[in-house]
Amino acid sequence: METLLIAVGSFVGFIVAYHTYGKWLAHKIFGLDPNAKVPSAELEDGVDFVPTKKEVIFGHHFTSIAGTGPIVGPAIAVFWGWLPALIWVVFGSIFIGAVHDFGALVISLRNRGQTVGEVAGRLISPRARLLFLLILFAALTVVLAIFGLVIATIFAQYPESVLSVWIEIPIAVLIGYHVYKRGGGLLIPSLVALGVLYLCIYIGVYHFEIKPFGENAIVVWTLILMAYCFIASILPVWTLLQPRDYINSHQLMVALALLVGGLLVACVSGKADLFASAPPVAENLPAGAPPVWPFLFITIACGAISGFHCLVSSGTSSKQLESEVDAQYVGYGAMLLEGALAVIVILACCAGVGMGVTDGGAELTGIEAWHTKYDPNGSWAGFGLTQKVAAFVDGGANFIETLGIPLEMAVGIVAVLVASFAATTLDTATRLQRYVVQEIGSTIKIKPLTDKYAATAFAVILGASMAMVPGPKGALGTGGLLLWPLFGATNQLLAGLAFMVIVFYLWRRNKPIWFAAIPMAIMLIMPAWALSWQLFNENTGWLVADDNKNYLLGSIGIGTLCLQIWVVIEGVLLLPRSRGVLEEMLPPLETAS
């Protein structure tokens, strides 16, 4: 029952936080105004700026920020024990991650839908704008490469998921046409689409596994996904992005209901026991594992706080909200729901796995089952992407099986959930990278990069090229893993810099800043500390360890630290003279003659 109490306590905490702390931020700090002009109406173009109801934007926003982040991160972090991971997810989501997402969304809403990088140019300095854009560009390049690999890996490992993920795309296009061109409703068609999705899971599990491309499956799937991203990211948001993400939001609700229901049954029946399945704090770690402090804070990003979220808030969601007051529901609320998902992942990877796994023909339960996924005598480097995903899929499927659903069907449900979320993040990231490339092209005066199609092609080709090069083990199509060790720290440094923008926005308006300044300090110090450890640790440091030197990662890591220090210095020099001084306002919009 302790497992159930932990789950219920976490969920209740998120609900209370939304109606107290979130409400305080919305009304007392940001002063959301239902009559304020919003970018979706002011700049409506039918492509990127489209006024949309908050329920639809919530689906897009949540599925875009979630992806596999709140799955992979917690699945790794429980190596250190489930208690540190749980504490960081719950309190990080409420006081850091949700504030970050909400603040970035509001600031973008009040700056014509500009990204935080663009806004930083006026709030801090023009140099800060370019530095921000370069960091965004680097982070999104890795996202494109690695998320393409994640989906391709799921398709190869769980072929029963392929049909469901791809059938969703034409259905979403039809729904978008039905809603925006024919004036039809959205809820009923999306629920019908959800039913088709689950029917396809059944077909994929029992009748029609798709296993093309043989040994080259990951490479070919990655290329197909990149081609899809090009098309999806240049289409108007209403044709595919919004309806598919709305369908996926329903899929999440169903999957979460199944997982929570299965958890309830498993706890009441005594099958799930968190304390007997995994250590609260691990005493023995695999060889080569980094210390929990500060690496917990960069390992669990999505689910607690992620710099990528400020790009979604200020890159796509701010261009679609039809009212400023919807920002709390979308920005703060979606992050808390992601925290709830991360809690479920932690419990699935510990109590769920402990319910039973098959290893070499033997049925194992409890801590022995958990050690098949998290062997303290194994190697940290050996715990790869496949194992991370499998820990959640297997543990989550064990929960769902207690509801009377066959295990193979439960595995299919969880695998499709993971693949669908990764796909929504992938094409949203491509659209965001297009914006960043266009902004960089405008800043450094490279006119071809300001074109939508050229910028998208540049983003996709670069991401595909990164993905296609041989990775750490020499396998084609795994190149994103080369830079993956840098992504955790870079992504979280981006969150710290986004908090700088929020702090300066409030500081210039004589608003309280403590609630943002404290998280800003945490998210600047912890990632810099972790990155410094990766660079200079005597046993494994990229620049100093005799048997682990990696000058590619080392040089990029040093460059990232230098960029961060530069931006922080810019901010420190400006802070004393910017209190109460509003930034330069945006030029007036051109009016049609």
Burial class (CB in 10 A: 0-12, 13-18, 19+), 316: buried
Mean pLDDT in residue range 445-456: 90
Percent of the chain with pLDDT over 70: 95
- Cβ–Cβ < 8 Å for 103, 317: no
The alpha helices in 512-550, defined as continuous H runs, are: 514-536
State how far the Cα of 49 lies from the Cα of 35, in Å rounded to an integer: 18
Q: Which two tokens stand for residue 383?
A: 């715990």
Rounded-to-integer distance, Cα 294 and Cα 64, Å: 26
Other CB atoms within 10 A of residue 352 CB = 36
Q: Give the global pTM.
A: 0.90
Confidence of residue 474 (pLDDT cuts 50, 70, 90): low
Q: Is there a contact between 179 and 185 (Cβ–Cβ < 8 Å)? A: yes
Contact predicate 172/193, CB 8 Å: yes
Written as one letter, the residue type at 243 is P
Q: What is the DSSP string of 5-56?
A: HHHHHHHHHHHHHIIIIIHHIIIIIS---TTS--HHHHT--SSS---B-HHH
* Residue among 70, 22, 14, 11 nearest 515 (CA): 22
Question: Looking at the predicted structure, is the pLDDT value of residue 446 above 70?
Answer: yes
Structure tokens at 224: 């197909």
Determine which of 7-11, 167-171, 227-231, 376-380 has the lowest per-residue pLDDT on average. 376-380
Task: Express each pLDDT in 229-257 by its tens digit.
Answer: 899 888 888 888 888 888 888 888 888 89
330-344, 424-438, 478-492, 560-574: the lowest-pLDDT one: 478-492
* 175: number of Cβ within 10 Å: 26
What whole-number distance in Å separates Cα of residue 225 and Cα of residue 18?
36
Q: What would the two tokens of residue 577 be?
A: 């003279």
Average pLDDT over residues 343-354: 93
Strand partners, 379: 287
Contact 26, 336 (CB under 8 A): no
68 close to 426: Cβ distance less than 8 angstroms: no
Residue 478 pLDDT level (bands cut at 50, 70, 90)? low
User: How far is 367 from 53, CA to CA, in rounded Å?
Assistant: 47
Task: Indicate if the pLDDT at residue 149 is higher than 80.
Answer: no
Nearest to 12 by CA among 74, 94, 78, 103: 94
With contact defined as beta carbons under 8 Å apart, do 118 and 436 qualify? no
The shares of helix, strand and coil residues in the chain, as percent rounded to the nearest 5, are: 75, 0, 25
3-state per-residue secondary structure call for 359-403: ECCEEECHHHHHHHHCCCCCECCCCCHHHHHHHHHHHHHHHHHCC
Question: Exposure string (b/e) for 198-216, b if CB count within 10 Å is 16 or more?
Answer: bebbbbbbeeeeeeeeeee
Nearest to 555 by CA among 468, 482, 470, 491: 482
Instruction: Please check whether residue 457 is in contact with residue 438, taking contact to mean a CB–CB distance below 8 angstroms.
Output: no
pLDDT class of 550 with cuts at 50, 70, 90 = confident
Tokens coding 371: 């050690």
Whole-number average pLDDT of the chain: 87
Q: Is-cis flag, bond preceding 243, omega within 30?
A: no
Q: Is residue 592 scored above 70 in pLDDT? A: no
In sequence order, the β-bridge partners of residue 363 are: 358
Q: Answer yes or no: are the C-beta atoms of 378 and 370 closer than 8 Å.
A: no
- In whole angstroms, what is the distance from residue 482 CA to residue 286 CA? 21
Query: Over the stretch 58-72, which tens digit does the pLDDT of each residue have?
Result: 988 988 888 777 888
Would you state the structure tokens that stand for residue 289, as one six-digit string? 């594992």
Give exposure, 229-241, as e/b (b: 16+ Cβ within 10 Å): bbebbbbebbbbb
Helices (H), 93-161: 98-109, 116-123, 126-157
What would the pLDDT profile of 321-341 be if each residue is shown by its tens digit? Answer: 999 999 999 999 999 999 999
Dist CA 32 CA 58 (whole Å) = 17
Fold (topology level) of 2-577: Amino acid/polyamine transporter I (1.20.1740)
169 is written with which tokens? 């795309």
- Supply the pLDDT for residue 466: 79
Stronger pLDDT, 142 or 114, i.e. the higher one: 114
User: Which residues, other chains included, contact 523 with Cβ-Cβ below 8 Å and sequence gap of 6+?
Assistant: 96, 100, 297, 305, 492, 493, 495, 496, 499
